[in-house]
Structure 1
Amino acid sequence: MPTGVAMRDARRQLFDAAERVLREGGPSALTSRAVTAEAGCAKGVLHRHFADFDDFLAELVEDRATGVAARAASLRAAAGTGTVAGNVADALDDLFRTVAVAVVGLVAGRDELRSRLRRRWPTGVPLLTEAVSALAAYLAAERNLGRVAPTADVEAVSAALVGAGHLLYADRTGAPPAVGALERIVAAVAASAFR
């Protein structure tokens, strides 16, 4: 590997490389050597920016969870447009086509990583927890517009939707499900909530 070559935004390049490794090889393929090889840098670059590999992984998960939270604003802005089921299906598809499914396995399989993440997220899996919050905020906005039942428990519906979406995408070796399949699940899970 090259040494002495400056990297622009090394942390971002390492995070993006880790996401590619996770997507292609899953959590078991994610090693510091695989990340730095994918990023095209020396292994020492990772250790110059992070205390250890679990520190890197914790910051990777936090970075990707922040991305989910950032997309929540555009989801809330969609309130009142399209269909509720369609908007939720699009948001879930966006979430699960990213690295979210692989992060679940990563967090489940690494005790030290899970321990570090518990400081910020005492329960749940970070990306999924952020997705539940984003969906709940969106559904609350739709409830205010009368497109979701006034008695709907948006937090419970959101958790069920994220769980069902995760099951639909988890461990798929073929193409991801069609949005239509996801919309059917969204409609079935939230049938009593959507108007």
Structure 2
Amino acid sequence: MAAMLTRDELAGALVQAGQGDRSAFRIVYEATSAKLLGVCLRILPDRQTAEDVLQDTYLTVWRKAESFDPSRASPITWLVTIARNRSIDRLRSAAPMRRAVPVEDAHDLADDAALASETIEQADEVGRLNTCLEQLEDKARGVIRTAFLEGVTYDALAQRENVPLGTMKSWIRRGLMRLRSCLET
């Protein structure tokens, strides 16, 4: 099992990976691959697809590590965002081929591994994030949590809330702007 890294150690390894340091990249992979696989598994229908997306995620991390800025985001947040976005992209690209399953069946499909949300909550920024989330209005807080922690698409959220897609995007955008402002203070 990989040793747990502090936020600063992980950020340092990401910065070094951005400079082409393969051993630093290995450290990032060993410290975060289980967490990121959990994120992929929460969004994607099967383990093989999740593992493929995890590989794509780390290819993206290798190519874009130089753009990581530790003053703008925690390293785990940056990595989870990449994994989440890649997973949703894969899910959308495969959408015509998969059959719809009622949301009630999701419990039966759950992986035994720790939930991605539980893993993320262990990060050192969760306290601040939760404080800032609590300052948002209930509807914005709910849709942001659902979109970013559960991987539900904006379109699916709009259908759930019975609002136009543009309205849902506006709610999330305004909520994220308020959240960002809170986190920057």
Per the shorter chain, which TM-score range? 0.3 to 0.5
Normalised to the residue count of structure 2, the TM-score between the two structures is: 0.34
Higher Cα Rg, which structure: 1
The structure with the greater share of residues assigned to helix is 2
